[in-house]
A = this chain, B = another copy of it.
């Protein structure tokens, strides 16, 4: 009998459950997926699942934060990027793709709806957003100092407006998978052009 349990077990179990949940959510959506299904997929019992997550909502919250983190990798890269406009188009592409692996589109709105009721998740998302906005604002400032762009407004506000619009595009795609990602990216790009006014 070991004095300490495997310290990596909890993290492994969480990952195992999250992977199963993501699979099910993509398949059938958040609401139509039952805990029992997640348990079957993760080969674990309901009792065990609840050792690692407080609730079903807690599971979406974890997935939400993961998905954001993935999309935000592109934001990290804004700082070092050569062309701000190019980097922004890449960011849009990454963000739209992160929530477009079929089924995931709806997940984005589930997350939003969940956050509107779960203030912990809302706070976590707000913090992520604050960071992303700050990074984008810095990148804009840097490009402005370098003479690459002549933004139409304060960098902070430009950053916020751009991220707001990007989120808007992503949510529209979640509802109406009408146009290819590239088209949404192009529209976003046109917006950045007119807000950031690059030197020609």
Copies of this chain? 2
A112 and B176 within 8 A (CB): no
Interface of chain A residues 108 through 125 with chain B (CB within 8 A): 109-110, 112-113, 115-117, 122, 125
In chain A, residues 167-200, which have Cβ atoms closer than 8 Å to a Cβ of chain B? 167-169, 171-172, 174-176, 178, 187, 190-191, 193-195
A194 to chain B: closest residue by CB: B152
Contacts of A40 in B (CB 8 A): none
> Cβ of A110: which chain B residues have Cβ within 8 Å of it?
113, 116
> Within the complex, which residue of B113, B125, B157 is in contact with A112, where a contact is CB–CB below 8 Å?
B113
27 example contacts (A-B, Cβ-Cβ < 8 A) are as follows A32-B117, A105-B116, A106-B117, A109-B109, A109-B115, A112-B113, A112-B174, A113-B113, A115-B175, A116-B175, A122-B175, A122-B176, A125-B175, A126-B176, A126-B178, A153-B190, A153-B194, A157-B190, A160-B187, A161-B165, A164-B165, A164-B172, A165-B165, A167-B171, A168-B171, A191-B195, A194-B195
Residues of A within 8 A of B (CB): 29, 31-32, 105-106, 109-110, 112-113, 115-117, 122, 125-126, 152-153, 157, 160-161, 164-169, 171-172, 174-176, 178, 187, 190-191, 193-195
